[in-house]
Structures are given as structure tokens and as C-alpha cells.
Amino acid sequence: MLEFQNVSLSLQKKEVLKNVNFIINPGEIVAILGASGTGKTSIFRLLLGELKPTLGSIQLDNFALEKLSYSNLQKYRRQIGVVFQDFQLLPQKTVYENVAFALEVCGEEDEISKKVPELLKLVGLWDKKNQFPDSLSGGEKQRTAIARALVHNPKLLIADEATGNLDPQNSKEIAALMQTLYKEKKLTILFATHDPILVQELRPRVIRLEEGKVLFDKKEISLQEAFVGMV
């Protein structure tokens, strides 16, 4: 379970999150929506341990993020998988090597031969395993990034504008993949997006931010209500 308890965050004397509260239960798909500058990225940076809340507490199962030592932060980060808008693939490594690298840096080379083929087949890229990122479509790059995010069997998958650089067809394919991961891996998925396609296809619970506050937190929401006023 992930819980934000009265979380506020100030950066450079500006309050970017204001008394944010929510609970995400295992197995939920949740979208964080809001116009640019409303605090979505700050929530993700807090979840990655890049920032600590000015006030309040963030709990993921047995981890209180604001109290983690450096070594425990590394253990915590293995509980989450992260996908970014810009893919962050290593251009000099193949698809296979990009996914394997996430295991190498953690000293888990003995897991590579088992996990990497399994994950590349799951995301539909086994036939592209020897290609380099510059030869892939945007959707294929994001699938590679998703496979890499899953190498440590995370409990929580975080996706920050995962379809922001993709066309509508690729957005639908990424949404379908996320739905598969949700069902087959029992993943909890938290994503921020400006893409109505992801919300339409995944039908998530929606936490809508405005000026650093939770404007509403709803299930069964229309696209119009979810995105009204966003620019």
C-alpha cells in the first residue's frame, strides 16, 4: 500500500504541494492528472526519493520514505519500476543489453539469461533483441524501457508521461501493454499523463491536482471531467 499523509513540499521558497493525502491499494491503476506545474512531477520525485517532503510522510508498505538511509533507499527503489517520457535508453547498447544492464549494475548478472528473454517476450520485443535504440520506433523504445523497469519484479510501476512522445496508435499499444502487466503481473500502476488515450483505455482512478492540492480523487470518471481546464 502507498500512502501520502499530509504531504507538503516547498522548493526554492515556493510551496509546490500542499497537504496532499491519498492511499493507493495494491492492484490499483491510478492516474495523476493536472495542468503543467500542478505538482505531478514533484510527487514522482518524492516517490523516487529524489526529494523529501517538507511536511508529512510517505509510506510504501514498510518503508517511510522520508526516513530512509542511503542503503535502504536503494532497497526501496527495487520495489518500484519507473518509465519516463524520453525512454532514457543507452544508445550504444542493444535492446537486450539495455534491459540486462539494469541487472548488471545491481550485481545480478546470474539473472540475465532468465529474466531478460522473459521480459522481452512479455513486451513483444524478443525479435528486436539485437537492435539498437536508434533503429526502433517510439513505441518500441518505450516497450524496451518498460521491460527494463520490470527487472526487479517491482510492486509499483510509475510512468511519467509514458506516451508523451508517441502517436495515438502507439499510445493505444502502450495502454494495452500496461493492461496486460496489470493483469499478469498483478502490478499497481501509477501514471501521470496529458494523454486522454491512456485514461480512456485504462479507465483508472483519477487523482486530479490543481495548484499543488488534490482537487478530486474519483473512480468512474468521464474524460471531460478528468481533463477539464487542463492546458
Whether 114 is covered by a domain: the verdict is: yes
| 205: nearest Cα among 6, 85, 31 | 31
Residue 231 clears pLDDT 70, i.e. is over it:
no
Torsion of CA 167, 173, 179, 180, to 10 degrees: -150
Question: Diameter of the chain by CA atoms?
Answer: 50
- The C-alpha cell of 227 is what? 481533463
| 36: nearest Cα among 169, 212, 225, 166 | 212
- Per-residue confidence band for 106, with pLDDT thresholds at 50, 70 and 90: confident
Whether 177 is covered by a domain: the verdict is: no
pTM of the model: 0.90
Whether 216 is covered by a domain: the verdict is: no
Whether 101 is covered by a domain: the verdict is: yes
Instruction: Render pLDDT for 26-64 as a digit per residue (tens, 0 to 9).
Output: 999 999 999 888 889 899 999 988 899 999 999 988 778
Whether 117 is covered by a domain: the verdict is: yes
Instruction: Render pLDDT for 173-202 as a digit per residue (tens, 0 to 9).
Output: 999 999 998 888 888 999 999 999 999 999
Whether 191 is covered by a domain: the verdict is: no
Q: Which domain holds residue 145?
A: 89-153
Split into its structural domains, the chain has a count of 1
Instruction: Render pLDDT for 138-151 as a digit per residue (tens, 0 to 9).
Output: 999 999 999 999 99
Share of the chain above pLDDT 70, in %: 100
**pLDDT on residue 5:** 94
